[in-house]
C-alpha cells in the first residue's frame, strides 16, 4: 500500500479521543481526524499509483521546470481539496499562507542546493498546499499529490503549519514516492517514516544553521500545544532518544523490538536513532556526510517497495566505503550506529 503519510499516528489520535482529561469537543476532534485518515488512505492509494505510473511512463515527455512552482489554497474548513487559490501567498494577510509558502520554498531550495534534486519528483513538480482543512483538524499529510494542513485544536496541537520539520517530513514522503517507492507497512513502512523524519530534521537544522551538536533532534516540537506541554510532552518523537517519556509517540530503540504489523510511526524509531547516532559521530552538519549517504541510498537504486531495514543499512555502509574511501571514519561511524540499534 502506498504511503499513509500523516505526521500524527492514528493510534495517538485514538488514544487522545479517549482521554477523559480532555473536553468532549477535543475528544470528538481527535476521533474525527482518526476517521478521516481511513478515508484518505483509499484516495491516496489511487493517487500514488497513478502518479508513479505517469512518472515512469512520461519520463521523456515535455519540458521540465527549472524549479517547482509553489501554490497555496484555502480549504476554508471544508474537506474538499485543494480549495480556493490564494493568489499571492507570500504577501497574504493569512499568516499560515505566508508560512507555508515560505517554508515550502525553503524545502525546495534545500533539496536543490544540498542534493541537486528538483522538487519531490526531480522533475520540477508543483508543490501544492491546502490550508485550514476541516475544523480543528489535528494532522498534516501528503496525500500522494499535495500537502494538506489542519489548524489543530489549539490545546494538544498548535497549527500544523508551524512545524518546519513537519513540512519537510511530509514533503519527503513525496521524494520517497518518486524514488525508492517504499510500501507503507511492516519494515518498509518504518523505513519510509524514518526517511521522512531524517530529512525533516535535516531540513530544520539546515534552515536554522545548526550543526549536529546544536540540534535538538526533536520531531514536532513546534506543533505541541499548551495542554500537551502541561502533560509533559515536548515533541512527537525524539530521534536521539526515541523511547523518552517526553515523546507523545514514543518508539522502540532496538531492531529486536520490531514486530510484524507494527505501526510505521513506531518502528521508525530504530533507523531514526541509527541516523542520529551516525550524524553525531561524524560531526559537522547532518546533511553533509550522513545525509548525502542516506539520500543516495534512497534515490540511486530502482524502486524497491519491500526493502527491509537491514538492506537499507547495508546500502549506506556500502556507500560510505565507496564515497569516502580516504576517510574510514565515515564508514566506522555509520556501521557503529547501525550496530548500536541491532542492525
- pLDDT at residue 327 above 70? yes
Could you tell me which residues come within 8 angstroms of residue 207 by beta carbon, excluding any fewer than 6 positions away? 103, 106, 110, 164
- pLDDT at residue 172 above 70? yes
Distance (Å, rounded) from C-alpha 254 to C-alpha 342?
Answer: 6
Percent of the chain with pLDDT over 90: 80
What is the mean pLDDT of the segment spanning 219-224?
97
- pLDDT at residue 59 above 70? no
State yes or no: is 265 an active-site residue: yes
Report pLDDT for 50: 47
- pLDDT at residue 134 above 70? yes
Distance (Å, rounded) from C-alpha 204 to C-alpha 291?
Answer: 13
CATH number, domain 10-177: 3.10.170.10
Read off the C-alpha cell for 40: 484518505
Give pLDDT tens digits for 1-54.
Answer: 445 478 888 888 899 889 888 888 888 888 878 776 655 555 544 455 545 555
Choose the weakest-confidence range: 32-46, 56-70, 154-168, 251-265. Answer: 32-46
State yes or no: is 56 an active-site residue: no
The reply to whether CATH 1.10.390.10 applies to domain 186-340 is: yes
Report pLDDT for 30: 87
Given the DSSP bridges, would you call strands 140-142 and 84-85 parallel, antiparallel or unpaired?
A: unpaired
The active-site residue, picked from 37, 170, 187, 193, is: 170
Choose the weakest-confidence range: 43-47, 79-83, 144-148, 191-195. Answer: 43-47
For the chain, the distance separating the N- and C-terminal CA atoms, rounded to the nearest angstrom, is 25
Angle between helices 269-282 and 328-340 (to 10 degrees): 150
Given the DSSP bridges, would you call strands 147-149 and 140-142 parallel, antiparallel or unpaired?
A: antiparallel
Give pLDDT tens digits for 245-292.
Answer: 999 999 999 999 999 999 999 999 999 999 999 999 999 999 999 999
Read off the C-alpha cell for 253: 530503540
Contact 40, 193 (CB under 8 A): no
CATH 1.10.390.10 in the chain: give the residue spans. Answer: 186-340
Amino acid at each position: 500500500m502506498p504511503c499513509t503519510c500523516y505526521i500524527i499516528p492514528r493510534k495517538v489520535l485514538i488514544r487522545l479521543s479517549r482521554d477523559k482529561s480532555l473536553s468532549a469537543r477535543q475528544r470528538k476532534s481527535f476521533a474525527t481526524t482518526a476517521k478521516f485518515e481511513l478515508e484518505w488512505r483509499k484516495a491516496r492509494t489511487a493517487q500514488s499509483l497513478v502518479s508513479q505510473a505517469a512518472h515512469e511512463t512520461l519520463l521523456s515527455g515535455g519540458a521540465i521546470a527549472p524549479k517547482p512552482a509553489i501554490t497555496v489554497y484555502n480549504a476554508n474548513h471544508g474537506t474538499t481539496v485543494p480549495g480556493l487559490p490564494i493568489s499571492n501567498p507570500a504577501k497574504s494577510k493569512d499568516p499560515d499562507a505566508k508560512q507555508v509558502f515560505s517554508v515550502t520554498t525553503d524545502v525546495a531550495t534545500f533539496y536543490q542546493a544540498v542534493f541537486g534534486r528538483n522538487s519531490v519528483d526531480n522533475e520540477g513538480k508543483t508543490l501544492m498546499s491546502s490550508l485550514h482543512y476541516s475544523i480543528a483538524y489535528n494532522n498534516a499529510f501528503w496525500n500522494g499529490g499535495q500537502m494538506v494542513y489542519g489548524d489543530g485544536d489549539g490545546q494538544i496541537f498548535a497549527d500544523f503549519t508551524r512545524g518546519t520539520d513537519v513540512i519537510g517530513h511530509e514533503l519527503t514522503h513525496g521524494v520517497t514516492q518518486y524514488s525508492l517507492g517504499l510500501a507503507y507497512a511492516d519494515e518498509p513502512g518504518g523505513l519510509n517514516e524514518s526517511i521522512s523524519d531524517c530529512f525533516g530534521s535535516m531540513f530544520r537544522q539546515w534552515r536554522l544553521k545548526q550543526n549536529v551538536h546544536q540540534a535538538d533532534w526533536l520531531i514536532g516540537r513546534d506543533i505541541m500545544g499548551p495542554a500537551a506541554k502541561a502533560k509533559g510532552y515536548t515533541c512527537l518523537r525524539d530521534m536521539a532518544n526515541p523511547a523518552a517519556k517526553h515523546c507523545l509517540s514514543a518508539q522502540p530503540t532496538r531492531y529486536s523490538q520490531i514486530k510484524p504489523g507494527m505501526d510505521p510511526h513506531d518502528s521508525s524509531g530504530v533507523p531514526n536513532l541509527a541516523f542520529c547516532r551516525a550524524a553525531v559521530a561524524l560531526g559537522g552538519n547532518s546533511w553533509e556526510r550522513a545525509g548525502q549517504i542516506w539520500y543516495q541510498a534512497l534515490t540511486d537504486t530502482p524502486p524497491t517497495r519491500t526493502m527491509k531495514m537491514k538492506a537499507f543499512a547495508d546500502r549506506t555502509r556500502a556507500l560510505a566505503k565507496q564515497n569516502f574511501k580516504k576517510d574510514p571514519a565515515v564508514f566506522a561511524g555509520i556501521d557503529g550506529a547501525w550496530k548500536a540499534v541491532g542492525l
